[in-house]
């Protein structure tokens, strides 16, 4: 059967199978979901076998298994390594979901469930593209290696060990990832830049134990006040990060790139609508897309301490905590930034408190040229899938693995994302537009087919 016909005639079957995948609550951060993680890994392995991969392995790791598969039956043809993740973020807060997070539901042309956009839906696009190629053509037109991990949302700790132990085996002409977004509805996109991410936690201790605020208030340090003062000092009036050296290594955007990024069909109105705040804010001198794709930031992610229950409790807490992160851009070095952040924060804290400073994870930014012929193939494939020309974008999110692969293997990394920025990844009512799910299957099938016409690297 012809490829397009096969894909068209299997829409229902593909979608129903995705629903099965989404019903598995493969939340990587919670140990109670360990059996679900195992189940999801098995499910992926089974579908890879179904798609005709010759070798499929569930590789145990210290934490969650990764699934690896290969089909190497196209000698002389290019080899791609596809990477994705089957783990998802926790669904909480549950009461804000219109339909339950692990009971996938279609509404208004969108499929709602945790993992639809990030990243099970996008992984499934590739599984079904491979299956369709195999069914329509009898064999895959290129060599494919597939690596789908279960720890992406908790920092991919085991992944790099597996990659370095299997460097030879994982060799490929290109890395292919679908774990990003399109610029907007109807705008197929290829992402050539991501921000890096350092994640921190600090704990500040004042009094040795909680104190009665009437008996002691006025004569003792309050760690919550001190944290508030601290964080208030970390940005200036122009929304620049107020940490000495923070911007020292930031690469300036070329005029050509600024022009290209600012003339994309990006809609400020939609962005504002998605944000939903009364007004936007951000670093002076930069457009909104520059702020979220190309500029480093410091964000508070959570702050807690003292009494937060019902009613009142007059207390001066002993401790206060905060989680915060810095998004990084080329050529900032995560280790150097972590040192600068810690040094500056220590210098701002008064002698009245002690602080524990932890760096929970680090990840490098990534930007790469898209001149390799594979990007033309990708662009053409997206045009076949969506009937529109694909644009090249950068994004503000982080996939530290892409940088590691790019630095280690020096291969082109092709990021074709099928999510949309307003699809609530990591939030309640996460969804994927069905047109993008189906358009994705078509695009990826055509992409792999198109690659067969490209020359494999020697
Ligand atoms: N798929 C996202 C990364 C992403 C989101 C890229 C939006 C481009 C646009 C990934 O699953 C993710 O959530 N990454 C985390 C960092 C990771 C180390 C936990 C992020 O960006 O916060
Ligand atoms: Mn993801
Ligand atoms: Mn994610």
pTM for the model stands at 0.96
- List the chain domain ranges: 3-194+365-451, 196-250+296-361
152 is catalytic: yes
Q: Which residues surround ligand 3, an ion (CB under 5 A)?
A: 118
User: Mind listing the pLDDT tens digit for each residue in 242-301?
Assistant: 999 999 999 999 999 999 999 999 999 999 999 999 999 999 999 999 999 999 999 999
Neighbours of 411 (CB within 10 A): 20
Note whether 134 and 194 are within 8 A (CB): no
DSSP-assigned beta bridge partners for residue 190? 392, 416
Correct CATH for 3-194+365-451 of 3.30.70.100, 3.30.870.10, 3.40.50.300, 3.40.630.10? 3.40.630.10
Q: What confidence score (pLDDT) does residue 183 get? A: 98
**430: Cβ below 6 Å to ligand 1?**
no
d(CA 187, CA 42): 34
Q: What confidence score (pLDDT) does residue 455 get? A: 72
Note whether 283 and 292 are within 8 A (CB): no
In the chain, % of residues over pLDDT 70: 99
Q: What confidence score (pLDDT) does residue 1 get? A: 79
DSSP string of 5-38? Answer: HHHHHTHHHHHHHHHHHHTS--BTT-GGGHHHHH
Residue environment code for 197-214, b if the CB has 16+ CB neighbours within 10 A, otherwise e = bbbbbbbbbbbeeebebe
Distance 185 CA to ligand 3 centre (A): 20
**Residue 223 pLDDT more than 70?**
yes
User: Mind listing the pLDDT tens digit for each residue in 329-383?
Assistant: 999 999 999 999 999 999 999 999 999 999 999 999 999 999 999 999 999 999 9
How is domain 196-250+296-361 classified at the CATH fold level? Alpha-Beta Plaits (3.30.70)
User: Mind listing the pLDDT tens digit for each residue in 411-449?
Assistant: 999 999 999 999 999 999 999 999 999 999 999 999 999
- For a mutational test of ligand 1's pocket, the pick from 367, 399, 400, i.e. the residue with the most ligand atoms closer than 8 A to its C-beta, is 399
Distance 180 CA to ligand 2 centre (A): 7
87 is catalytic: yes
């Amino acid at each position: 059967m012809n490829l397009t016909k096969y894909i068209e005639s299997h829409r229902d079957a593909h979608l129903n199978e995705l629903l099965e995948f989404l019903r598995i609550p493969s939340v990587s951060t919670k140990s109670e979901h360990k059996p679900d993680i195992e189940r999801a890994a098995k499910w992926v392995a089974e579908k890879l076998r179904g798609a005709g991969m010759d070798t499929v392995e569930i590789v145990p790791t210290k934490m969650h298994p990764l699934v690896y598969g290969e089909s190497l039956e196209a000698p002389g043809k290019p080899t791609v390594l596809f990477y994705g993740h089957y783990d998802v973020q926790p669904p909480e807060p549950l009461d804000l979901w219109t339909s339950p997070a692990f009971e996938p539901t279609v509404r208004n042309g969108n499929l709602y469930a945790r993992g639809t956009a990030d990243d099970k839906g996008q992984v499934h696009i590739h599984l079904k593209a491979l299956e369709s190629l195999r069914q329509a053509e009898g064999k895959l037109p290129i060599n494919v290696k597939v690596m789908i991990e279960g720890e992406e949302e908790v920092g991919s700790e085991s992944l790099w060990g597996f990659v370095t132990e299997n460097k030879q085996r994982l060799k490929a002409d290109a890395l292919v990832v679908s774990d990003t977004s399109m610029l907007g509805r109807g705008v197929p996109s290829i992402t050539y830049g991501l921000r890096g991410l350092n994640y921190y936690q600090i704990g500040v201790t004042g009094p040795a134990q909680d104190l009665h605020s009437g008996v002691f208030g006025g004569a003792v340090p309050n760690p919550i006040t001190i944290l508030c003062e601290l964080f208030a000092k970390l940005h200036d009036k122009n929304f620049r990060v107020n940490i000495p050296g923070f911007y020292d290594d930031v690469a300036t955007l070329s005029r050509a790139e600024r022009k290209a990024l600012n003339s994309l069909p990006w809609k400020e109105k939609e962005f504002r609508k998605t944000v939903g705040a009364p007004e936007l804010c951000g670093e002076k001198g930069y457009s909104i897309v520059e702020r979220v794709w190309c500029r480093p930031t410091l964000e508070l992610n959570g702050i807690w301490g003292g009494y937060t229950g019902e009613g009142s409790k007059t207390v001066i807490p002993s401790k206060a905590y905060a989680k915060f992160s810095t998004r990084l851009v080329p050529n900032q070095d995560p280790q150097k930034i972590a040192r600068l952040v810690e040094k500056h924060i220590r210098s701002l804290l008064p002698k009245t408190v002690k602080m524990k400073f932890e760096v929970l994870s680090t990840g490098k930014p990534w930007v790469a040229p898209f001149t390799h012929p594979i990007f033309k193939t990708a662009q053409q494939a997206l045009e076949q899938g969506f009937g529109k020309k694909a644009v090249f974008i950068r994004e503000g999110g982080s996939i530290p693995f892409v940088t590691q692969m790019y630095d280690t293997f020096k291969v082109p990394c092709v990021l074709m994302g099928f999510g949309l920025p307003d699809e609530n990844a990591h939030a309640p009512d996460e969804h994927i537009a069905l047109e993008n799910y189906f358009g994705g299957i078509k695009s990826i099938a055509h992409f792999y087919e198109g690659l067969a016409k490209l020359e494999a690297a020697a």
